[in-house]
Amino acid sequence: MPWWLLGISMVATTFAADTPNFVTQIVRQKGVSQNWIWWAFLLTGMLTVFVYAKLWKRSGVLTDLEFYELRYSGAPAAFLRGFRAVYLGLIFNCLVMAVVIHAGIKIGGVLLGLTPLQVVLIGGVVTVFYTMLGGLRGVILTDFFQFILAIVGAVGAAIVILRMPEINGVQNLISHPNVADKINILPNLTDREVFIPLLIIPLAVQWWSSWYPGAEPGGGGYVAQRMLSAKSEADATGATLLFNVAHYALRPWPWIIVALASLIIYPNLAALQDAFPDIDQAFINDDLAYPAMLSLLPKGLIGIVIASLIAAFMSTISTHLNWGSSYISNDLYHRFMKPAATEKEVVAVGRLSTLVMMIIASLIALELGGALEGFNIILQIGAGTGLIFILRWFWWRINAYTEIAGMVISFAVALFFYVNGKLEFFEPALQLADWEKLLWGVGITTLGWLVVTFITRPTERDVLTKFYLKVKPDTYGWKPIQHTLTEKNIELHNQNVLGVGIISMLTATLLVYSLLFGVGYVIYSKFMSALIAVLIAIICSFILIRLWPKLKMDQENE
């Protein structure tokens, strides 16, 4: 598939029905600056673009779980592949889909008057049906049209809401008493209680330490799935770059505008409850304000916006269903249960698992409290595992036991904090903020998997040698394998471009943040600041163009 289509498919997948709800919730609670809890993942994305995209493409695997038996050896590698197929494809994937479905329930309830069960049944049946029929190619092609519809609906809604008499333009919006203290793009640097959890922790720890769908350190999940289906290393890199630019720089502001406007129309949860008395009180939260604002749109436009939200819902759910079913069918059933299965049998298992995952995710969705709660749960579960996914390409000593330990420990820590938060076993002794729980999770998990790495046997040398020759990572961290190759008179590759990749990553990160700030400053009518941001973006673009050839990517498939 071409880079531009794959990039748009990734953007469409992350443009979920829950995303505008999630942005609305955090803006209403702590302002625009709280978006840094996900804006910080841009560093992860750009690291994938300039360091890992070409490595994934060189691996030649069908799913990212096949990587385990390419990189590791023996029974631990096989167990890890099978376990991750269930852990990610079924458990974790269903939790992510549940967050999206939960948002769909709120949208359907506010805009269409549907019950939660009706939303689950209608949305689930339609999406499962075309995902079963179309496979990955069908998902990618439909993503293209769904993204266009979704972005048109989001921008159109923001423009019309700004023209409402109660809002009366951007200047009245940002100067309103309910809004004025929530428009800052950067958190208050003089308030440690604000800037540490919103800026320091995400930028210093969260982006490299936590596994999160669409922002996996080192690439993975459906992002890896798209990169692996690219025409070449250059296409895989270009697709991921397009995804990160659009995801972080171009898309957030229409949602932010609607979120800020909602503070005027629905200043608190009581106002939302009064406006929608038929909505179950369990679903009344700040994330409900986004569909609540859309309900005020004029006829015609509201139809387009509803269609755009349905498109956003379908593009995300279809990708996760296809991604999860590929794990169950290829990495569990075909690899372990029936290696001699025909293609037809594997596809049938994939279709059946698609249906089962949708049912499980729908049941979980009915129990969630809000978009932010789902985000924090997912973040905590992956806390401390991110560094493993970054280092396994560049440090020969990482083995299958490392990853198993990371998964088990991080999940146990997350489960402890979640259960303790619900049942209050150790309260008030453990009254920790979400960012403090994240730090504890990262610290405990990282220490645990490091100990396990050094007390267990490394991967077999033959497996490591084949991996090194196939993927051609930089030589850093592979000295013992290089020594083995030298003894066998095997020519070593010269692919030491990690430094160029990291410089490109930092430059591209600055470029996207400049664009993000620039758009915001234009909206706020701070034109001098916007001009400075644009100039920085132009300089960064020029540097990236000069660095691109030095990344040594194949332009065509080998």
What pLDDT score does 558 carry?
A: 46
Confidence (pTM): 0.86
Q: Is 383 helix (H, G, I), strand (E, B) or coil?
A: strand
Q: How far apart are CA 86 and CA 117, in angstroms?
A: 26
- Decide which of 368 and 68 is more confident: 68
- The H-assigned helical ranges of 327-397 are 343-365, 371-381, 386-391
Q: Which range has the worst mean pLDDT, 249-258, 292-301, 366-375, 485-494?
A: 366-375
Q: How far apart are CA 492 and CA 489, in angstroms?
A: 9
Q: How far apart are CA 311 and CA 305, in angstroms?
A: 10
pLDDT tens-digit series, residues 140-197: 888 888 888 888 888 999 999 999 999 989 999 999 999 999 999 988 888 888 888 8
Q: What is the largest CA-CA distance in the chain?
A: 78
pLDDT tens-digit series, residues 228-246: 889 899 999 999 999 999 9
Q: How far apart are CA 287 and CA 18, in angstroms?
A: 9
Among 55, 58, 61, residue whose Cα is nearest residue 77: 61
Q: Which range has the worst mean pLDDT, 92-106, 221-235, 355-369, 426-440?
A: 426-440
Mean pLDDT of the chain: 86
Model confidence at 63, pLDDT cuts 50, 70, 90, reads confident
Going by the DSSP 8-state scheme, the letter that residue 196 receives in this structure is I
> What is the DSSP annotation of 284-348?
-SGGGHHHHHHTTSPTTHHHHHHHHHHHHHHHHHHHHHHHHHHIIIIIIIIIII-TT--HHHHHH
> What is the DSSP annotation of 23-81?
HHHHHHHH-GGGGHHHHTTHHHHHHIIIIIHHHHHHH--SSGGGHHHHHS-HHHHHHHH
- The contacts of residue 528 (CB under 8 Å, 6+ apart) are none
Model confidence at 253, pLDDT cuts 50, 70, 90, reads very high
Burial of 137 (0-12, 13-18, 19+ CB in 10 A): exposed
Contact 12, 143 (CB under 8 A): yes
As a whole number, mean pLDDT of residues 250-279 equals: 89
Q: How far apart are CA 322 and CA 351, in angstroms?
A: 9
Domains of the chain (ranges; CATH) run 3-370 (1.20.1730.10), 382-458 (no CATH)
What pLDDT score does 474 carry?
A: 82
The HSE-up count of residue 378 (CA atoms within 13 Å, CB side) is 26
What pLDDT score does 369 carry?
A: 57
Going by the DSSP 8-state scheme, the letter that residue 398 receives in this structure is -
What pLDDT score does 124 carry?
A: 81
pLDDT tens-digit series, residues 441-477: 899 999 999 999 999 999 999 999 999 989 888 878 8
- The alpha carbon of 425 is separated from its chain's Cα centroid by a whole number of angstroms, namely 32
What pLDDT score does 120 carry?
A: 84
Whether the predicted pLDDT of 488 surpasses 80: no
Tell me the one-letter amino acid at 239. A
Going by the DSSP 8-state scheme, the letter that residue 477 receives in this structure is T
Buried/exposed code over 173-210 (b: 16+ C-beta within 10 A; e: otherwise): bbebebbeebbebebeeeeeebbebbbbbbeebbbbbb
Cα dist from 342 to 60, 347, 355, whole Å: 21, 9, 21
Q: How far apart are CA 484 and CA 473, in angstroms?
A: 16
Phi, psi angle pair for 210, to nearest 5°: -115, 140
Model confidence at 513, pLDDT cuts 50, 70, 90, reads very high
Q: Is 95 helix (H, G, I), strand (E, B) or coil?
A: helix
What pLDDT score does 322 carry?
A: 84
Among 15, 3, 88, residue whose Cα is nearest residue 317: 15
- Decide which of 279 and 64 is more confident: 64
Cis preceding linkage at 428, omega within 30: yes
Q: How many CB atoms lie within 10 A of CB 510?
A: 16
Q: Is 490 helix (H, G, I), strand (E, B) or coil?
A: coil
Among 467, 438, 469, 514, residue whose Cα is nearest residue 204: 438
Among 335, 505, 466, 503, residue whose Cα is nearest residue 73: 466
Contact 362, 95 (CB under 8 A): no
Burial of 425 (0-12, 13-18, 19+ CB in 10 A): exposed
Provide, rounded to the nearest whole percent, the portion of the chain with pLDDT above 70: 94
Model confidence at 372, pLDDT cuts 50, 70, 90, reads low
Whether the predicted pLDDT of 552 surpasses 80: no
Q: Which two tokens stand for residue 237?
A: 């890199």
As a whole number, mean pLDDT of residues 417-433 equals: 68
What pLDDT score does 32 carry?
A: 93
